[in-house]
Chain A
Amino acid sequence: PALGESFSFLHSSFISSFWGGGRNSLTVLEGMGFRVGQGLAERLPRGALAFREELDTIKFLCRDLWGAVFRKQTDNLRTNHQGTYVLQDNNFPLLTQMAWGQQYLEETPKFLAFTCGLLRGTLSALGIESSVTASVASLPACKFQVVIQKA
């Protein structure tokens, strides 16, 4: 728990320090997440190359990656079986500290950019290129949409 709080604090600190405004900051945050994701992809899957299918890799994200970073699993996973996956977290740890509901909807993109990059980086290191976007209807629940790039 203490580790989770310090990550959350660190995360909000660099969001506020980057916030000169504009699209650039979101890209920087996403880029940081990407690089961390690459490192995590090497460290986390202990042992077998058990990802025979794409779906296995996404499930790994929902269970193991979320577990390692946020100490919980995602609450829901949906797919259209054609390369699009939606990971849903009803109680996203990086958003829980803000007022619940819709008061801060505008601020959420900067709090989700790093995590989008994290997902994209981990997938990339595991051999899957994707694009990841996040959306919030009402804090602290959010959804991450992963679209796999077809070669």
Chain B
Amino acid sequence: MAVCIAVIAKENYPLYIRSIPAEHELKFHYTVHTSLDVVDEKVSAMGKALVDQRELYLGLLYPTEDYKVYGYVTNSKVKFVMVVDSSNTALRDNEIRSMFRKLHNSYTDVMCNPFYNPGDRIHSRAFDNMVTSMMVQVC
């Protein structure tokens, strides 16, 4: 269960960002912003390595003492960043991967919506509901 989920456009501005609980929103915005550098590093490192298969899932970007930050990048260079509580040790890599897959599928649906202009903030209710299902239940 995540505490913060963000979708970042390839030009590095947020298309969607949601965090729980609401009073720490600014802190999470900052965390996500700083993690973008790590994302860029990983993506360019992968580009130089001569691998046939480059993964979309970037893995753990960096751990802080309270949180872990995971990243994922799509083929159109849109990035997903997920912040998870460190104390939640039950969350395994596989589960994070499947959460990102769900995010990607929902994002693809938003993209294919003819009423959505690429580059706008995401207001889709379906997307909201999917993100809600992935976030920590507070009380």
Binding site for B on A (CB under 8 A): 35, 38-39, 41-43, 45, 47-52, 125-127
Measured in the bound complex, the distance between the Cα atoms of B56 and A49 in whole Å is 7
Q: Which residues of A contact B65 (CB under 8 A)?
A: none
CB <8 Å contact, A48 and B53:
yes
Instruction: Tell me the nearest residue of chain B to A51, going by C-beta.
Output: B75
CB <8 Å contact, A38 and B75:
no
CB <8 Å contact, B111 and A126:
no
Measured in the bound complex, the distance between the Cα atoms of B135 and A98 in whole Å is 54
- What is the number of residues of chain B that contact chain A, defined by CB distance less than 8 Å? 19
Instruction: State the Cβ distance, B38 to closest chain A Cβ, in Å.
Output: 17
Q: Which residues of A contact B107 (CB under 8 A)?
A: 42
**Which label, helix, strand, loop or mixed, suits the secondary structure of the A interface?**
loop
The answer to whether residues A50 and B54 also contact, given A35-B114, A39-B111, A42-B112 and a CB cut-off of 8 A, is: yes
**Which label, helix, strand, loop or mixed, suits the secondary structure of the B interface?**
loop
Contact with A along B90-130 (1 / 0, CB 8 A): 00000000000000000110011010001000000000000
The answer to whether residues A48 and B55 also contact, given A38-B118, A126-B75 and a CB cut-off of 8 A, is: yes
CB <8 Å contact, B47 and A52:
yes
Measured in the bound complex, the distance between the Cα atoms of B52 and A45 in whole Å is 14
Among B46, B56, B74, B76, chain A packs the most CB atoms within 10 A around the CB of B76
The answer to whether residues A50 and B114 also contact, given A42-B107, A45-B75 and a CB cut-off of 8 A, is: no
Given contact pairs A42-B76, A49-B54, A51-B75, enumerate 17 new A-B contacts (beta carbons under 8 Å).
Answer: A35-B114, A38-B118, A39-B111, A42-B74, A42-B75, A42-B112, A43-B108, A45-B75, A48-B53, A48-B54, A48-B55, A48-B56, A49-B55, A50-B52, A50-B53, A125-B75, A127-B77
Q: Which residues of A contact B77 (CB under 8 A)?
A: 127
A–B pairs, 7, beta carbons within 8 Å: A39-B111, A41-B75, A43-B108, A49-B54, A49-B75, A50-B53, A51-B75
Measured in the bound complex, the distance between the Cα atoms of B47 and A35 in whole Å is 28
Identify the 5 closest CB pairs spanning chains A and B, nearest first. A39-B112, A49-B54, A48-B53, A42-B111, A125-B76
Measured in the bound complex, the distance between the Cα atoms of B22 and A11 in whole Å is 47
Contact with A along B47-85 (1 / 0, CB 8 A): 100001111100000000000000001111100000000
Measured in the bound complex, the distance between the Cα atoms of B84 and A141 in whole Å is 54
Measured in the bound complex, the distance between the Cα atoms of B75 and A45 in whole Å is 7
Q: Which residues of B contact A43 (CB under 8 A)?
A: 108, 111-112
Instruction: Tell me the nearest residue of chain A to B117, going by C-beta.
Output: A35
